[in-house]
Structures are given as structure tokens and as C-alpha cells.
A = this chain, B = another copy of it.
């Protein structure tokens, strides 16, 4: 295999992310969203909501994180936010997936890209925390647009949303959580 053969083999493998379905739907509720189009939507969130990032956030790197962040789901599947899972088990599955999937690339490219995914997963830097905040902020925006989406499917309360979603949005993008919390409260008030 030539270098380009390996790069294309990785890109063909990545195509499978278009068939990984999420708990959220499209805004028009017509079907489940897949993780590839979700990843694209998040990169657009980063471009459009860059003014919500703190001064230590590198938006170009946020975008790279969001392009790569769900690739491991090709092997490990999507973990719905409101499902109760064994976090250590999910993390182990995702590490194995990263080994296999980044392993398809020429070594120098894998060494450049995998640390971007690792930084996102660890969520210790302002850049990763902002990327994580967007990843948690987009699903409630989809649910508000579609009339409930995964909130109805999982029958969740505002407290659960605040715990599962709010804490991570607030850590990376406090202005977005202030906005989302208000809109979520209005949605639940009108739905009850």
C-alpha cells in the first residue's frame, strides 16, 4: 500500500460514520441524525458561535476536534446522553476504536491527529472544554427545534438536562448555558 492508499483507506473507513445514528433527530423531526452530519453541524456551530469562546480558546483547533471527535463511534457506537452507561467501559471501547481507526493512517498523520482527539476526550484545556460545550449545546437546540426529540424519547426532566448537559456547557461556554437554560425552561413550561 502506498501512502495515498492508506490515506484513502482511512477516509473510506470514516464514511461509516454516516451510518451511525444518534438519539437526536433533524430539526424537522423527519429522521434520526447521524454522527457525520452532526459533526459537520458542530463545526458550523464553532464558526458561528466563536464569540462565545474565552480568550484561551483556539477556534481552528476546536474545529479539528469536532471533525474528529465521533470517529471512534464507527466501532463503539453513539452513547446517548441520557442513557446510563459504564463510563470506564465506554472509554476502553473508544480507545480500542481509536487504535484501529487512526492506525489505518500513515504513522506521521496518525501522530498529528490522534492527540487532537485525546485532548478533546480529556477536556482539560479551554479549547477542548469549548468543543465539548458545543457538542452538548447542539442536541438541546435540535430538541427545541423538533418539539422535544430525545427529551421525550428518554422522558427526562429539566434537572436531568442540567446535570447531564448543563454542567459541560457551562464549563466551556457559560453564555450558551444561560441561553439554553432559559429556552429549556420555557419549553418545559409550555409543554406541561
Residues of A that sit less than 8 Å from B by CB: 4, 7-8, 10-12, 14-19, 26-28, 30, 33-34, 36-37, 39-41, 43-45, 47-49, 51, 60, 63-64, 67-68, 105, 109, 113, 138, 141-142, 145, 175-176, 179
Q: List 12 A-B contacts (CB under 8 A).
A: A4-B175, A4-B179, A10-B48, A11-B44, A15-B28, A15-B142, A36-B37, A36-B41, A43-B43, A44-B68, A48-B109, A63-B67
**Measured between alpha carbons, how far is A60 from B145 in the docked complex, in Å?**
31
Q: Do the beta carbons of B67 and A11 come within 8 Å of each other?
A: no
Q: Do the beta carbons of B26 and A19 come within 8 Å of each other?
A: yes
Whose C-beta in chain B lies nearest to the C-beta of A108? B51
Whose C-beta in chain B lies nearest to the C-beta of A109? B48
A65 to chain B, nearest CB (A): 11
**Copies of this chain:** 2
Q: Do the beta carbons of A40 and B36 come within 8 Å of each other?
A: yes
B residues less than 8 Å from A15 (CB atoms) = 26-28, 41, 142, 145
Q: Do the beta carbons of B34 and A14 come within 8 Å of each other?
A: no
Q: Do the beta carbons of B40 and A43 come within 8 Å of each other?
A: yes
A72 to chain B, nearest CB (A): 14
A49 to chain B, nearest CB (A): 6
Q: Do the beta carbons of A8 and B60 come within 8 Å of each other?
A: no
Whose C-beta in chain B lies nearest to the C-beta of A45? B11
Whose C-beta in chain B lies nearest to the C-beta of A3? B51
Contact (A67, B45) CB under 8 Å given A15-B26, A141-B11, A142-B15: no
A140 to chain B, nearest CB (A): 11
Q: Do the beta carbons of B26 and A40 come within 8 Å of each other?
A: no
Q: Do the beta carbons of A43 and B67 come within 8 Å of each other?
A: yes
Q: Do the beta carbons of A67 and B49 come within 8 Å of each other?
A: no
Whose C-beta in chain B lies nearest to the C-beta of A142? B15
